[in-house]
Structure 1
Amino acid sequence: MDKDLNSIVQKALLGDKKALESVVEEVKDLIYNLSLKMLLFPEDAQDATQEILVRIITHLSTFQGKSTFKTWVYKVATNYLLTEKSKKDRKAKEVSFDEYANQIDTGQSAMIRYTNNEGEIGLLEEEVKVSCTHGLLHCLNPANRLIYVLGDVLDLNSKEAAEILEITPSSFRKQLSRSRERIKNFLTAKCGLVNPNNSCRCKRKIDFLIDSKMIDPHALRFANHTKRSIDMMQKIEFLDKTLSVFRSVPIIGAPNGIMKEVRQTINSITF
């Protein structure tokens, strides 16, 4: 895939607009999923993805091939998410691990009042799981969150991730180890998917999160776009179940609306 993508990139650099659109198609889901994990809300991730794709299009000539194109794309994306987006976006506030633990413990119920429909319950359970997973990432500050996402969620090696973040591989590994330990300790202590001895189950939070308007059953943010990652966890052979909580979530396709603005940008470019 990387060889094919590099070939398309070279055509785009020579002024082929169809190739440029193909480049965008290849990387948009990658950028959207990174943005989603960093920003929590799909609507914010969509806006960020559009901005990042425009930057990639307008700065493509600066790609010199010293790294893989995917690494360069991640570098453009992370720079935007850590600088420009953080200045504009204050919706997804950081919370402490203790505060998040209190949120987990609050409002658990053995019975589901909202619906008896098993299909609907399955969707709502998945919505709780993915929402909770994304929310937990916001217990880390943006820099540490990004390090954890690159290293443990996206499974990039320390050399790749360090190049993206412009730090040393040693520094990346040290920072990843600290973030990994904090996430692991939390999930081991609180998540029933990781430790069956824990009381929390995604189903038990459905009513509370609907009543608190943290989940809208008529406008699900995540469950309509993914396979049930709760089921997929059982099929993933990880020694560390805390990783499967994150990696079991399938890649979510970037919303179709993203390409409309991007195509306008492509058509306006003069080579």
Structure 2
Amino acid sequence: MDEITLLVVQRAVAGERAAMEQVMRALERPFFNLALRMLLLPAEAEDATQECLLRVATRLAQFEGGSRFSTWAWKVAVNRILELKRKPFLTLEQFSADLADGLELEARERTEDLVSLGELKMGCGRALLQCLEVDDRIAFIVGEIMELEGPEAAEILGIPPATFRKRLSRARERLREALSANCGVVNAAAPCRCHRRLARATVLGRVAPGVASTDAPLDVVALRQKLSRIGEAVRVAAYYRADPTSKPRRDLVLAALQPFTSTRSN
């Protein structure tokens, strides 16, 4: 997230639309990727992002500069998303069974499927996150994917650092076990490969052939090679951090700016 200065915040609070838009633009994609990892469905993530942006905008005067703006903004967004109370929608056992359903063992890995394979890997990883309890899921996203330091992550989540570390450790271990048992990107001995799953995922509407949700596609082959060269203890983090940031399908900032009618320029 691009850091926003106190001066820009003060200008936005004073009613300067350009400053408010600068704040919203800096937050839109980071908030959307947080929501997408927590909620899975893009439409729900977009709605949640818009609500987070509105909440930041209406509470902006409460930011006094005592901490980094990003820390304050993340806390606002996390609190709103946690209010949605999305519970696990699958057990890890059900998730594994879903992966095995329709797996085409004879399918070939084709270069023309690069975009679709990357989209499938990213969607699969986000779906796996939904198997975690909400508290563990948000701890993993904030601490491992967003790479926020323990004290800052604990502050954002409103919990003691020791509690954050416990939740993060529990999430890491559950994801490590699940990925090692199922995912060929992480473990060469695992049965599932993105290209073996692609046809079934396309039929189910989980992947739109050739349609990218990111500015640059994720190269699954390169990621698999990279993970094979690093230790097992850090593969889960590398697996998730490799994902490019996803972009919402509509402009969420324009909707969030509608209540603010000032047109003063810089």
For 1:230, the equivalent position in structure 2 comes to 220
Q: Which amino acid aligns with 2:31?
A: I
Aligned-partner SS, 1:103: helix
Aligned mates of 2:131, 2:111 — CA distance in 1: 32
Aligned to 2:89: 94
Tell me the equivalent position of 1:32. Answer: 32
Of 158-167 and 245-254, the range deviating more from structure 2: 245-254
Instruction: State whether residues 71 and 152 of structure 2, in contact with CA within 8 Å, keep that contact through their aligned partners in structure 1.
Output: yes
If asked which structure has higher relative contact order (CA below 8 Å, sep 6+), I would say: 2
Pairing partner for 1:156 from 148, 153, 160: 148
Residues 148-200 of structure 1, C-alpha deviation per residue, up to 9 Å, x if partnerless? 10011111111011101111111100111011111011111211111111121
2:104 equivalent in structure 1: 109
The answer to whether the Cα contact below 8 Å between 2:36 and 2:42 also exists between their aligned partners in 1 is yes
How far apart, CA to CA, are the structure 2 residues paired with 1:6 and 1:230? 40
Preserved CA contact (<8 Å) 2:182 2:191: yes
The 3 A distance-change label for structure 1 pair 63 and 171 is same
For 2:102, the aligned partner's letter is: G
Deviations 1:83-102 (A, max 9, x none): 1x33xxx7x86211111111
Equivalent position of 2:247 in the other structure: 253
Distance, in Å, in 2 between the alignment partners of 1:217 and 1:57 is 37
Secondary structure at 1:266 match in 2: coil
Deviates more, 1:134-143 or 1:208-217: 208-217
Q: Aligned equivalents of 1:238 and 1:62: distance in 2?
A: 44
- Determine if contact 1:188/1:242 at 8 Å carries over to the other structure: no
Q: How does 1:1-271 map to 2 (within 5 A)?
A: 5-83=5-83, 85-86=84-85, 94-112=89-107, 118-119=111-112, 121-217=113-209, 220=211, 222=213, 225-231=215-221, 233=223, 234=225, 239=231, 240-267=234-261
Alpha-carbon distance between aligned partners in 2 of 1:226 and 1:5, rounded to the nearest angstrom = 29
* Distance in 2 (alpha carbons) for counterparts of 1:268 and 1:16: 6
TM-score by length of 2: 0.87
Question: Equivalents in 2 of 1:173, 1:160: separation in Å?
Answer: 12
Asked if 2 retains the 8 angstrom alpha-carbon contact of 1:151 and 1:176, the reply is: yes
5+ unaligned residues in a row in structure 2: which ranges?
A: none
Aligned partners of 2:17 and 2:262 also within 8 Å: no
CA distance in structure 1 between the aligned counterparts of 2:89 and 2:249, rounded to whole angstroms = 26
Percentage identity across paired residues of the two chains: 32
Query: Please, what is the CA RMSD of the aligned residues?
Result: 2.7
Change (3 A) 1:147 1:93: closer
Partner amino acid, structure 1, of 2:49: T
Question: What is the distance in 2 between the residues matched to 1:196 and 1:6?
Answer: 49
- Secondary structure (helix, strand or coil) at the match of 1:59 reads helix
Tell me the amino acid that sits aligned with residue 61 of structure 1: A
Separation (CA, whole Å) in 2 of partners of 1:178 and 1:108: 29
Secondary structure at 2:132 match in 1: coil
Q: Could you tell me how far 1:79 is from its partner in structure 2?
A: 0.8
> 3-state DSSP class of the match of 2:178?
helix
Q: Which runs of 5+ in 1 are unaligned?
A: none
